[in-house]
């Protein structure tokens, strides 16, 4: 059932609950009140019926049927066509779920076409039905209430995103390998949320300015100004989230580079220490090899080695061993190998 609620109001009071759209049109013409029709993902036939009855613009009807539109405000004579991007924060997955609602407002009708669960238009209807004097101001009062509900539902979304940004800042210095991905994903949500909120400011300003075909009551103008102030504050708040995330991404990149530099420095220091150890080992090995070389030469026992019969052969061999060892030691010491 795509018709969620359907009623005719006279002087701000609900007087009839038609069972079909055709009955709504009949009662509206008979009582000269205001029709408030709420549709949820209607099919083409239902939307075409509404469009023919209220002479809605064909392009606006096509937008409402297909969805996936940006937030915008368009005037078609006495009809105002409004697209809003409501949002809600899903605590279980820490994500923002964005919806879409299309609103047609004319002299004696309000038609809402919803493509998501948000906003809670049943709550809007109950609120307005509890204020018949205000609802008697006509379709523009309903439009204000819808805008106010959408902006109010943005508040918990902003609070949820702010909490996520705080968690990012806490994890930034914890060397979490997933923090870059979380910053990127959160930045995408913040940008999408900013695109939903940002157009509200010119939309509300356009409604406040009005057109020659539409003049707002002073009471409605005051209420819309309040919604505009709320939207401006939210827009500035979300802009600060985006700036914080950009700074967090820059800080994270700097921290990653610093950690990489620290690792390279440690590897360099480790390599340098290993080289020093190799130098020391090689130096002592060369010093110890020198006397071994002399001893090996004179241990070959060839009969034609003249030093074997020399009186000073043994002291000479020992002195040669010592001289070679001391010479090598001084050389390595001078070159700071040991």
Q: What share of the chain is helix, strand, coil (3-state, %, to 5)?
A: 65, 15, 20
CATH number at residue 301: 1.20.58
Last residue of some domain: 258, 277, 297?
A: 258
- Tens digit of each residue's pLDDT (9 = 90 or more) over 295-317: 777 777 667 777 767 777 778 77
Nearest to 80 by CA among 226, 224, 231: 224
Query: To which residue do tokens 């809600």 refer?
Result: 88
Q: Which domain holds residue 300?
A: 266-334
Both 225 and 292 in a single domain?
A: no
Both 168 and 35 in a single domain?
A: yes
Using an 8 Å Cβ cutoff, are 37 and 24 in contact? yes
Both 303 and 214 in a single domain?
A: no
Both 304 and 272 in a single domain?
A: yes
Is the per-residue pLDDT at 142 higher than 90? yes
Average pLDDT value for residue range 120-140 = 92
Using an 8 Å Cβ cutoff, are 112 and 121 in contact? yes
pLDDT class for 182, splitting at 50, 70, 90?
confident
Based on the structure, what is the number of domains in the chain? 2
Residue 261 token pair: 């530099």
Last residue of some domain: 258, 282, 300?
A: 258
- Tens digit of each residue's pLDDT (9 = 90 or more) over 33-64: 999 999 998 888 889 999 999 999 999 999 99
The secondary structure of residue 125, as a DSSP letter, is H
Phi/psi of residue 110, each to 5°? Answer: -135, 125
Both 139 and 61 in a single domain?
A: yes
- Tens digit of each residue's pLDDT (9 = 90 or more) over 83-116: 999 999 998 888 999 999 999 999 999 999 998 8
Both 241 and 121 in a single domain?
A: yes
Last residue of some domain: 202, 223, 258?
A: 258
Please tell me the predicted confidence (pLDDT) of residue 211: 65
Please tell me the predicted confidence (pLDDT) of residue 175: 66
Both 83 and 210 in a single domain?
A: yes
- Please give the model's pTM, rounded to 2 decimal places: 0.76
């Amino acid at each position: 059932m795509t018709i969620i609620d359907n009623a005719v109001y006279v002087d701000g009071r609900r007087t009839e609950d038609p069972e079909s759209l055709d009955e709504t049109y009949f009662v509206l013409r008979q009582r000269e009140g205001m029709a408030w029709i709420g549709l949820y993902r209607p099919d083409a036939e239902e939307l075409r019926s509404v469009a023919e009855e209220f002479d809605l613009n064909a392009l606006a009807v096509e937008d409402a049927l297909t969805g996936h539109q940006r937030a915008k405000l368009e005037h078609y004579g006495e009809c105002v066509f409004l697209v809003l991007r409501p949002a809600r924060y899903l605590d279980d997955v820490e994500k923002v779920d964005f919806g879409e609602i299309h609103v047609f407002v004319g002299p004696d009708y309000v038609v809402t076409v919803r493509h998501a669960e948000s906003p809670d238009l049943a709550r809007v209807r109950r609120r307005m039905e509890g204020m018949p004097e205000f609802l008697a101001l006509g379709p523009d009062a309903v439009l204000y209430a819808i805008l106010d509900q959408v902006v109010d539902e943005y508040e918990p979304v902003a609070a949820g995103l702010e909490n996520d940004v705080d968690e990012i800042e806490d994890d930034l210095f914890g060397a979490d390998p997933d923090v870059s991905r979380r910053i990127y994903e959160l930045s995408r949500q913040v940008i999408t949320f900013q695109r939903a909120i940002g157009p509200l400011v010119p939309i509300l300003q356009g409604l406040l300015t009005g057109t020659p075909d539409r003049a707002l009551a002073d009471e409605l103008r005051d209420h819309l100004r309040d919604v505009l102030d709320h939207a401006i504050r939210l827009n500035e708040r979300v802009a600060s989230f985006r700036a914080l995330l950009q700074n967090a991404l820059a800080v994270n990149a700097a921290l990653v580079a610093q950690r990489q530099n620290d690792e390279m420095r440690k590897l360099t220091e480790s390599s340098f220490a290993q080289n020093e150890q190799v130098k020391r080992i090689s130096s002592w090995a060369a010093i110890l090899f020198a006397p071994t070389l002399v001893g090996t030469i004179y241990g070959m026992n060839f009969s034609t080695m003249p030093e074997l019969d020399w009186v000073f052969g043994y002291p000479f061999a020992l002195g040669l061993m010592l001289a070679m060892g001391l010479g090598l030691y001084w050389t390595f010491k001078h070159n700071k190998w040991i």
